[in-house]
Structure 1
Amino acid sequence: MPEQDKRDFEERYNACFVDFGLKIMTGLIIGSMLGGFFLRGYRKWPMYIGAGLGVGMAYSNCENSLNNFLLAMDPKICVIK
């Protein structure tokens, strides 16, 4: 059974921004390297595809992390009176 994450919402939200930055930069670098190696010239579209994949992965991780936190909360706390 995996250990439960003890971070609060703000820490998870800040981690999402760091994750977005790292995955976008990694996608840009890998896309430019693969585009330069396979296409033998400078093309921009592999960088855009790599950055898009990075954004998609970061969004998915962030959504999963925030949803796990929000769904684990006590529903009685969230009632609007």
Structure 2
Amino acid sequence: MPVDEKIYFEDQPGRKFDRCMANAIVKGGGGFVVGAVISLLFLRRRMWPILLGTGFGIGVAYKTCEKELKTFK
């Protein structure tokens, strides 16, 4: 984001929501990868570590988003 660019009050919720969605995709994907690696290496290709890792990642992203949106001014 350039320094000269003004951020209007009306644009702030949209930007925060976009950041929340990107955060959920990144953290959910990271949890998916960690769960898949654990599943492949240690648990004979079970499905639950993948679901658990993805759920943890999305849960952390949700909590971060909730905290960020509460500070909306």
Number of residue pairs matched? 64
Which structure shows the higher helix fraction? 2
TM-score computed with the length of structure 2 as normaliser: 0.79
Percent of paired sites with the same residue: 30
CA distance in 1, matches of 2:28, 2:58: 6
| Structure 1 unaligned spans of 5+ | 1-5, 74-81
**Which has the higher Rg, Structure 1 or Structure 2?**
1
The AA in structure 2 aligned to 1:61 is: T
Distance in structure 1 (CA, Å) of the matches to 2:58 and 2:31: 9
Question: Could you list the runs of 5+ residues in structure 2 that have no partner in the other structure?
Answer: 1-6
Counterparts of 1:21-32 in structure 2 under 5 Å? 21-32=25-36
Q: TM-score, normalised by structure 1?
A: 0.72
Moved over 6 A (4+): none
